[in-house]
Structure 1
Amino acid sequence: MQIAVVGAGRAGTAFNLALTRAGHHVRLVHHDELADALPADLVLLCVPDGAIPEVAAALPVGEHVVAHVAGSLGLDELAPHARRALLHPLAALPEAEVGAARLVGARYSVAGDEAVRALAESLRGTAVSVEPARRAAYHAAAAVAANHTVALLGHVEALARAAGLELADYLGLVAQAVEDVATLGVDRALTGPASRNDVATIDKHLEAIPASERPTYVALARAAFDIAERRRATV
């Protein structure tokens, strides 16, 4: 397939590498060089969400497919093109090489023209459909799974340093928790003070940790208590 990837940021460069390695003929163009995007079978917009309508409107209308990779947006932003699509990977793309590797075999949210399903399949990915009314919720879950997990690990890092240790000392425990969720499910994977309603230990934690970290700890402890309560209700 002849593909033009518009946008040379982290997503654009990752898709450029992955699609090229999958056997497609790919051109990587900047958003201000749209004249170089055509001819193409598919134009993949890897630009900031807010720029998608403007960039799409600047592209000549034709038989080509115009798609974007924004998780929270639908197809209306791609007007006036008749053949529209979206292809959002459930993968973190921190830089080109790492991102390209993660795009292979990833899960993709797709909508619109069937060409994007073929694109996902060429990357050995799995295509899933999300109802338009649920796209924001879908993207919120993706943001929590990736971005907020990084924020959570920042919280762990701050608490580790308060104990005289480093984040690296806790990463094995993090990996075990993720593995337990994958194999047991959220409810059964929960361990620790909240799982046994040990308020006294949590109070000791709050006394020991930096004041700046207490609101985050309390919010997470409440979420853990909710999971524990849900588990007890089903036993």
Structure 2
Amino acid sequence: MTRPARLAVGVVSAGRVGSVLGAALARAGHTVIAASGVSDASVRRAERLLPGVPLLAPDEVARQADLVLLALPDDALGPMVSGLAATGAFRAGQIVVHTSGAHGVGVLAPAAEAGALPLALHPVMTFTGRPEDLERMAACSVGVTATEADEAAWNVGEALTVEMGAEPVRIPEQTRPLYHAALAHGANHLVTLIADCVQLLRSGGVRTPERLLAPLLSAALDNVLRQGDRALTGPVARGDAGTVATHLDVLARRAPDLLPAYTVLARRTVVRAREAGLLGGAEATEISNLLDDGRDA
């Protein structure tokens, strides 16, 4: 794996991701020469994680950098790349990296046309924009995408990832939308699901639902990552139709807005438990019919 030379890094912009990755690159020996950021939060993050780095307009940041780090929301990335290209901010020999999980290197075509090397480096973790994120980088992977036939570009992306302390995982360009959908479905919807669980328990008078849930959910996550579908437990996987009927009834009365989500996930659990051999055909049919009816069996 080829180690990149010491690079002048420009960060666009100093949000939660950009400030942390800029700091990680600085820790690896590169020099962050400028960053962009206009909100008070971005300014504070830059002061904390990129001390002494001047805050400039995005085109000035990109024009000065050997490595341009574009840490922008998915929908803002394309317009920013086009705008920077229109100002002549990209040049041959630059490395232009974005951190979006939803995009591959196609979105960086204007930079590539100017002679820059395009890379997509998506850290698979959530960021707070605080110094502890730097230590968490050591436990995370980074989805690396480069131009398909350019092995040298893949090597550069992997080397930068290793320098930041993370583990590179190659994600082909055509896989990028599916990759991001899978991550969002798991991480983002998990937060929604757990927040709903906390809300349900609190509405029932449980004072510390987070403490109640923490060991259960931690064990469930660990088990599924180790065992896959064999980790399934609970009334659906056991075929306890009476318990599922009770759940449907109490949710219909106490939390009707959560009933559709419970029903959809229970249906998926039936399918996965059946395919894993945990649930017999008769039990699967009984629970599926119950879920379709949405009322007592």
Task: Give the alignment's TM-score, normalised by structure 2.
Answer: 0.73
Read off the aligned partner of 2:18 and give its amino acid letter.
G
The gaps in structure 1 that reach 5 residues or longer are none
Whether 1:49 aligns to 2:77 is: no
| Counterpart in the other structure of 1:104 | 138
Contact 1:69 1:86 in 2 (8 A): yes
Read off the aligned partner of 1:24 and give its amino acid letter.
H
The count of aligned residue pairs is 234
The gaps in structure 2 that reach 5 residues or longer are 1-5, 38-56, 147-152, 281-297
Aligned-partner Cα distance in 2 for 1:155–1:234: 27
Q: 1:179 aligns with which of 217, 222, 226?
A: 222
What RMSD in Å do the two structures reach over aligned CA positions? 2.1
Aligned-partner Cα distance in 2 for 1:154–1:234: 28
Whether 1:194 aligns to 2:224 is: no
Comparing 142-151 with 76-85, greater Cα deviation is found at: 76-85
| Structure possessing the higher radius of gyration over alpha carbons | 2
Whether 1:19 aligns to 2:61 is: no
Q: 2:107 aligns with which of 77, 91, 110?
A: 77
Report the CA distance between 1:168 and its aligned residue: 2.8
Q: 2:128 aligns with which of 94, 97, 114?
A: 94
| 1:136-175 paired onto structure 2 within 5 Å | 136-165=177-206, 166-175=209-218
Percent of residue pairs bearing the same amino acid type: 32
Report the CA distance between 1:128 and its aligned residue: 1.5
Report the CA distance between 1:233 and its aligned residue: 7.5
| Counterpart in the other structure of 1:227 | 272
Aligned-partner Cα distance in 1 for 2:64–2:139: 28
3-state DSSP class of the match of 2:110? coil
| Counterpart in the other structure of 1:5 | 11
Q: Which deviations, in whole Å up to 9, do the C-alpha atoms of 1:133-192 show, x marking residues without a partner?
A: 22111001111222111011112112212332223311110001011112222x110011
| Counterpart in the other structure of 2:257 | 212
Comparing 129-138 with 159-168, greater Cα deviation is found at: 159-168
Aligned-partner Cα distance in 1 for 2:166–2:265: 33
Aligned-partner Cα distance in 2 for 1:149–1:108: 20
Comparing 62-71 with 120-129, greater Cα deviation is found at: 120-129
Aligned-partner Cα distance in 2 for 1:199–1:168: 29
Read off the aligned partner of 1:191 and give its amino acid letter.
T
Distance verdict in 2 for CA 1:188–1:19, change over 3 Å: same
Read off the aligned partner of 1:47 and give its amino acid letter.
L
Aligned-partner Cα distance in 1 for 2:132–2:270: 36
Q: Which deviations, in whole Å up to 9, do the C-alpha atoms of 1:97-140 show, x marking residues without a partner?
A: 34333223421111222322111111232212222222111001
Report the CA distance between 1:66 and its aligned residue: 0.7
3-state DSSP class of the match of 1:100? helix
3-state DSSP class of the match of 2:205? coil
Contact 1:12 1:28 in 2 (8 A): no
Read off the aligned partner of 1:192 and give its amino acid letter.
G
Aligned-partner Cα distance in 2 for 1:63–1:162: 59
Q: Which deviations, in whole Å up to 9, do the C-alpha atoms of 1:62-97 show, x marking residues without a partner?
A: 311111011111212112223111101111113333
Q: 2:58 aligns with which of 33, 39, 57?
A: 33
Aligned-partner Cα distance in 2 for 1:89–1:25: 20
Contact 2:124 2:140 in 1 (8 A): yes
Whether 1:65 aligns to 2:95 is: yes
